[in-house]
């Protein structure tokens, strides 16, 4: 009966409005959690492509994820579109922060005009969403991400699940729009005890990680998940190159490395290689060093800069699961999906993977977002060329260079699990250069003290001193090994460790040596009167001196 009241054109329009409203809703929410300020321009002359008369950028990967989650359906009663925002620390702990819900209920407004009133109200609702996304606690957290945690998103369609938000979560309603087929409701449920989490504890040094947004979900019950880890398993590797190419059922999600010129490391399934080269839509151009690929932001609206780091425009043909753009202030920061992100220390991780919909099993190619051509995609596609720079050649070459974990600097661990492909860790110059040279690395194994006998050397070791205390010092504390941090220095012949070991036993002060203190007390006392007489003679001088001090 509902449909007879609505003309078919109106019905078509309404469905289209709702679909694009859902897509724009996801864009607004995800962009508000990228950690950067968003800026789009007003344009007085309508371009015809700005839905709801608002300049909201479309990040292609996000649209893709949303379309995937919706799978051609629209929000309806009992079928809500949810965007879950969660936080993941560098230790691997994750926590759901918010669930944004786009729902439909049965209350119909038959008289409302679709093409006009509904459209304008949807536009108003998007503006409200823009405003509200800045006032929930997760906004401030997301602005400070990159140091110790990252913000992730996940889109799912179906029943709303709020259990991950902890007790006492709060709800804010963004707004509602009545339509002839039901009332659209947009709301956000957010974790409340986060409000007391001081964001200041996360403000320390400038970020060493790129801003990351990811769209996989951390399974609440990892052990039951069918997914395999896409990235490292600490402690289980035996120095092999990432072994799970065969095992992994997931597809790609990129692991993020932590370096100022950020990189994306792609781990791909073997299955993926069997598919035709994926078509990647005009997507993000990210500056990547070493792996040498980049993607172009499709629209010029955003004030992101595709940073020019001189990288090629290539892609290896991997599905790049990016979301977000570039930080204009830090153009080298990459925004992209991530797993553990290569952040040391790296704990053992349960299975992770990309899963867009909780209700669906993750099939081997499930996460390959671009390999299957999206039938509904009408965006321009560009086949990714295989040109690449530097170390990376063809995709197959790249597979060899993929590594699971990079050992960061200052890490005193055997790094035989890692094949170092690129120096893409922070403070790379301090890091062990490669596995073979680890033993020679002075930072890891400081060299022994130089053999040459210097004059200083002799006195340092107090061979000739009569003091026995130095000998005691040696006996009491024996240096086994010394690996000072920050101490690698190629310029000086001696490094900090050596220096320390040489100078840790300085000679005793002469005044403290027993020889000198061998004078008897009696002699001291005898010499006292003489000394006092001398001082009394000079008392006027002393007084004058004291005067000058006052």
Partner 1 sequence: PRRTHRRAPSRATPAMNCRAEVLEVSVEGRQVEEAMLAVLHTVLLHRSTGKFHYKKEGTYSIGTVGTQDVDCDFIDFAYVRVSSEELDRALRKAVGEFKDALRNSGSDGMGQISLEFYQKKKSRWPFSDECIPWELWTIKVNVVNLANEQERQICREKVGEKLCEKIINIVEVMNRHEYLPKMPTQSEVDNVFDTSLKDVQPYLYKISYQITDSLGTSVTTTMRRLIKDTLAL
One residue of 26, 74, 132, 316 binding partner 1 per CB under 8 A: 132
Question: H-type helices in 424-520, by residue range?
Answer: 455-460, 469-476, 496-503
Q: Supply the minimum distance, in Å, between the C-beta of residue 84 and partner 1.
A: 21
Cβ atoms 472, 452 nearer than 8 A: no
- Binding residue for partner 1, selected from 71, 77, 135, 528, defined by CB under 8 A: 135
Q: Mutual orientation of helices 521-537 and 539-549 as an angle, nearest 10°? A: 70
Q: What is the DSSP string of 413-440?
A: S--TT-------STTGGGS---SGGGGG
Structure tokens at 438: 């680890």
Site string for partner 1, 176-205 (x = CB under 8 A): xxx---------------------------
The least CB distance from residue 134 to partner 1, in Å, is 5
- Give the single-character DSSP code of 448: P
- 360 binds partner 1 per the rule CB under 8 A: no
How many residues bind partner 1 (CB under 8 A)? The answer is: 42
| Residue choice 5, 7, 39, 535 for contact with partner 1 (CB under 8 A) | 39
160 scored as a contact of partner 1 (CB under 8 A) = no
Burial class (CB in 10 A: 0-12, 13-18, 19+), 380: exposed
Least separation, in Å, of the C-beta of 10 and partner 1? Answer: 15
The distance of closest approach from Cβ of residue 150 to partner 1 in the complex, given in angstroms and rounded to an integer, is: 19
Residues 106-125 that bind partner 1 (CB under 8 A): 109, 111-112, 116-117, 121, 124-125
Q: Which stretch binds partner 1 (CB under 8 A): 135-143, 206-214, 218-226, 248-256?
A: 135-143
CA–CA gap between residue 157 and residue 71 (Å, rounded): 9
**For tokens 């405003």, what's the residue?**
131
Question: Per rule CB under 8 A, is residue 173 in the interface with partner 1?
Answer: yes
**82 touching partner 1, by CB under 8 A:** no
- Of 138-146, 274-282, 333-341, 397-405, which segment contacts partner 1 by CB under 8 A? 138-146
Per CB under 8 A, the list member of 164, 175, 260, 277 interacting with partner 1 is 175
| 130: contact with partner 1 by CB under 8 A | yes
Piece of the chain touching partner 1 by CB under 8 A; list 74-82, 169-177, 289-297, 541-549: 169-177
Rounded to whole angstroms, what are the CA distances from 2 to 6, 94, 103, 180? 7, 44, 19, 7
Tell me the CA distances in angstroms from 475 to 23, 67, 463, 472, one per residue in order: 73, 72, 14, 5
480 binds partner 1 (CB under 8 A): no
Please select the residue that binds partner 1; options are 7, 12, 20, 53, rule is CB under 8 A.
53
131 binds partner 1 (CB under 8 A): yes
- CA–CA separation, 489 and 412 (whole Å): 17
**Using the rule CB under 8 A, which residue among 11, 13, 54, 164 binds partner 1?**
54
Q: Does 59 bind partner 1 (CB under 8 A)?
A: no
Q: Is 172 in the site for partner 1 (CB under 8 A)?
A: yes
Smallest gap from residue 147 Cβ to partner 1 (A): 17
Q: Closest separation between CB of residue 128 and partner 1, Å?
A: 4
Pairing of strands 149-158, 80-89: antiparallel
Structure tokens at 550: 């006052």
Say how far apart CA 381 and CA 283 lie, in whole Å. 9
Q: Which is nearer to partner 1, 187 or 259 (CB)?
A: 187
| CA–CA distance, 249 with 364 (Å, rounded to integer) | 4
Q: For partner 1, which residue of 24, 88, 143, 405 counts as binding (CB under 8 A)?
A: 143
> Shortest Cβ distance from residue 93 to partner 1 (Å)?
25
Residue 40 is a binding residue for partner 1 (CB under 8 A) = yes
User: Which of 118, 150, 87, 113 is CA-nearest to residue 21?
Assistant: 118
* Rounded Cα distance, 204 and 284, in Å: 29
Cβ pair 25, 129 in contact under 8 A: yes
In the numeric block, the tokens 């402690």 are attached to 235
Give the chain's largest Cα–Cα span: 124
Report DSSP state, residue 139.
Answer: H
Contacts with partner 1 in 289-328 (CB under 8 A)?
A: 301
Q: How far is the CB of 378 from partner 1 (least distance, A)?
A: 21
Rank residues 52 and 232 by Cβ distance to partner 1 and give the closer one: 52
Q: Does residue 329 touch partner 1 according to CB under 8 A? A: no
- On whether the CB atoms of residues 140 and 200 are closer than 8 A, the answer is no
What residue ranges bind partner 1 (CB under 8 A)? 37-47, 50, 53-55, 109, 111-112, 116-117, 121, 124-125, 127-128, 130-132, 134-136, 139-140, 143, 172-178, 301
């Amino acid at each position: 009966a509902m449909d007879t009241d609505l003309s078919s054109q109106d019905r078509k329009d309404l469905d289209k409005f709702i679909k694009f409203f859902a897509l724009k809703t996801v864009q607004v929410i995800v962009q508000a959690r990228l950690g950067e300020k968003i800026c789009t321009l007003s344009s007085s002359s309508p371009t015809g492509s700005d839905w709801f008369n608002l300049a909201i950028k479309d990040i292609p990967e996000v649209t893709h994820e949303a379309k995937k989650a919706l799978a051609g359906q629209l929000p309806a009663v009992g079928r809500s579109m949810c965007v879950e925002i969660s936080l993941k620390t560098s230790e691997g702990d994750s926590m759901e922060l918010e669930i944004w819900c786009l729902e439909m209920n049965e209350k119909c407004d038959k008289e409302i005009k679709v093409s006009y009133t509904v459209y304008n109200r949807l536009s108003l609702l998007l503006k409200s969403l823009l405003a509200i996304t800045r006032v929930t606690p997760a906004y401030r957290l997301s602005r400070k991400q990159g140091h110790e945690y990252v913000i992730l998103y996940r889109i799912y369609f179906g029943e709303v699940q709020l259990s991950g938000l902890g007790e006492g979560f709060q709800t804010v309603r963004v707004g509602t729009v009545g339509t002839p087929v039901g009332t659209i409701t947009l709301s956000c449920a957010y974790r409340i005890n986060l409000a007391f989490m001081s964001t200041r504890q996360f403000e320390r040094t400038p970020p060493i990680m790129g801003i990351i947004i990811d769209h996989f979900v951390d399974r609440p019950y990892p052990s039951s998940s069918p997914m395999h880890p896409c990235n490292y398993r600490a402690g289980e590797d035996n120095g092999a190159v990432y072994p799970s190419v065969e095992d992994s059922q997931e597809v790609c999600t990129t692991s993020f490395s932590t370096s100022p010129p950020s990189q994306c490391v792609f781990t791909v399934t073997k299955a993926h290689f069997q598919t035709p080269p994926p078509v990647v839509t005009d997507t993000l151009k990210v500056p990547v060093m070493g792996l040498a690929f980049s993607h172009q932001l499709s629209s010029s609206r955003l004030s992101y800069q595709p940073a020019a780091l001189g990288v090629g425009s290539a892609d290896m043909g991997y599905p790049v699961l990016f979301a977000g753009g570039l930080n204009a202030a830090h153009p080298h920061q990459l925004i992209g999906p991530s797993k553990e992100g290569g952040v040391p220390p790296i704990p053992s991780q349960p299975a992770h993977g990309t899963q867009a919909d909780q209700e669906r099993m993750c099939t081997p190619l499930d996460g390959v977002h671009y390999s299957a051509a999206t039938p509904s995609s009408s965006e321009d596609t560009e086949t990714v060329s295989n040109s690449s720079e530097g170390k990376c050649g063809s995709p197959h070459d790249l597979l060899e260079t993929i590594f699971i974990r990079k050992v960061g600097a200052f890490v005193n661990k055997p790094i035989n699990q890692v094949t170092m492909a690129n120096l893409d860790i922070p403070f790379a110059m301090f890091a062990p250069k490669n596995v073979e040279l680890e033993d020679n690395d002075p930072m890891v194994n400081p060299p022994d003290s130089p053999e040459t006998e210097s004059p200083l050397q002799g006195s340092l070791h107090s061979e000739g001193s009569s003091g026995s205390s130095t000998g005691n010092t040696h006996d009491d504390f024996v240096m086994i090994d010394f690996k000072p941090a920050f101490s690698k220095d190629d310029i000086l012949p001696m490094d900090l460790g050596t220096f320390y070991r040489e100078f840790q036993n300085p000679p005793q002060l002469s005044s403290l040596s027993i020889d000198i203190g061998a004078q008897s007390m009696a002699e001291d006392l005898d010499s006292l009167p003489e000394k006092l007489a001398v001082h009394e003679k000079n008392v006027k001088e002393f007084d004058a001196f004291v005067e000058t001090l006052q």
